Amino acid sequence: MIENGILYLAVLILIATAIVYTEKKTQAKLFEYLPSIVILYFAVMLFSTFGVWGKTDSVTATYKAVKSNLLPAMIFLMLLSADMREIFKLGKKMLLTFFLASLSIGIGFIGMFSLFHNAFGENSWKPFAALSGSWMGGTANMVAIQGALDLPDSAMGYTLLIDSIDYAIWVMILLALVPFAKIFNHWTKADTSLIDEVGERLAQKEEAKASLSLTSVVWLLVTAVLISLASQYLATFLPTTSFLTTTTWIVILATVAGIVCAMTPLAKLPGASILANMMLYLIVALIASRADFAELTEAPLYIMAGFVIIAIHIIIMVIVAKLFRLDLFSLGVASLANIGGVASAPILASAYSKALIPIGVLMAMMGYIVGTFGGLMVGKVLESISG
């Protein structure tokens, strides 16, 4: 059993590296439907279940120090790619489609929880609040909400379980619908000319980006660390409630800093997303290291709840698509930009056209902006329902 904190951290990094290396080296189809970050969570959870490390003072201290300092830094770096000026250039219809997807997902969570909340255990609203952050943004938002709501690491197993199984099936459905785009667009009477134009412009801008350098990595790391420390310091002076805790303020401050700095020259430095993903993988590994498979006693119920949320989301999206003449590409990518994030939205976009990949990326970046705030708002509603 590992009892030393540094060795414990090294093992987590080794597991994460091995999984990422396997994904890049093998290009296995498994990773298209089951993201490596989800595989990482359950792999580390398996090690934890078998007691590879103990919850000693050294391990616990390392866990708390690394997670509390990495979380705001990761949020900040993740949002550096979300330039609001570029997002507004997507056009009213695509922005409407994205926010429609976010809103319908939020309604899905509220509707599902209103129907089934008595079937879940105490404080079950918290895992669903974390999942709503993930399904409106990405795993980074889920982790941010977990920290903001002080959700126990053991409860995150349910969140990741729904996020992997339900999400994987939804991705397959959306990819299977691509050949029917013309039929759907004819039914809604959608105009797709603007999408092609925006996709081409974003693709040209993507090609003009600078290559990664040591200088840019150092600047980004130093700034992220300073933002992390500043967020933690300033949060101690802000008023708190039972819902708006100091940790919640840290998450909010780091989020605002990322949104603001995304419109500065700092955002042009390459490498922010790489560093953010490295931090995210380590944070997810840390969370999983405190969980146990024996605690997932209500897994089927949670998985079913996830499908109910998606069903409500689909019904609302289709109805509004008909009313506002929205196309299947925008609907699918907006949905996956919310539920799947930056890892899967570009994959669906590329199934339509390679030139549309940047639209998928940019929509997913929007998710990082709204995911944390949207998830916290949904969580507040779910809390009132459960109370």
Domain boundaries along the sequence of the chain: 5-386
Instruction: Label residue 382 by pLDDT band (50, 70, 90).
Output: very high
Instruction: Label residue 187 by pLDDT band (50, 70, 90).
Output: very high
Average pLDDT over residues 65-87: 82
In the three-class reduction of DSSP (H, G, I as helix; E, B as strand; rest coil), residue 376 is classed as helix
> What whole-number distance in Å separates Cα of residue 353 and Cα of residue 23?
24
CB atoms within 10 A of CB 35: 22
- Tokens 């199984």 correspond to 165
> What whole-number distance in Å separates Cα of residue 232 and Cα of residue 249?
8
- Lowest average pLDDT, out of 45-54, 201-210, 267-276, goes to 201-210
More confident residue, 297 or 231: 231
Q: What is the pLDDT of residues 348-375, one digit of tens each?
A: 877 776 667 677 777 877 887 888 889 8
Closest CA to 60 of 290, 279, 284: 290
Q: Which two tokens stand for residue 220?
A: 């980004």
- The pLDDT mean for the chain works out to 83
Instruction: Label residue 7 by pLDDT band (50, 70, 90).
Output: very high
Residue 227 confidence (pLDDT): 94
- Lowest average pLDDT, out of 148-157, 192-201, 207-216, 235-244, goes to 192-201
> What whole-number distance in Å separates Cα of residue 345 and Cα of residue 77?
20
DSSP tag of 271: T
In the three-class reduction of DSSP (H, G, I as helix; E, B as strand; rest coil), residue 382 is classed as helix
Residue 208 confidence (pLDDT): 52
Residue 205 confidence (pLDDT): 55
The pTM for the full model equals 0.72
3-state DSSP percent of the chain in helix, strand and coil, to 5 = 80, 0, 20
> Phi and psi for 2 in degrees, rounded to 5?
-80, 125
238 by Cβ neighbours in 10 Å (0-12 / 13-18 / 19+) ranks as middle
Sequence-ordered alpha helix ranges (H) in 236-356: 246-261, 272-288, 299-324, 328-339, 345-352
Percent of the chain surpassing pLDDT 70: 86
Instruction: Label residue 207 by pLDDT band (50, 70, 90).
Output: low
In the three-class reduction of DSSP (H, G, I as helix; E, B as strand; rest coil), residue 53 is classed as strand
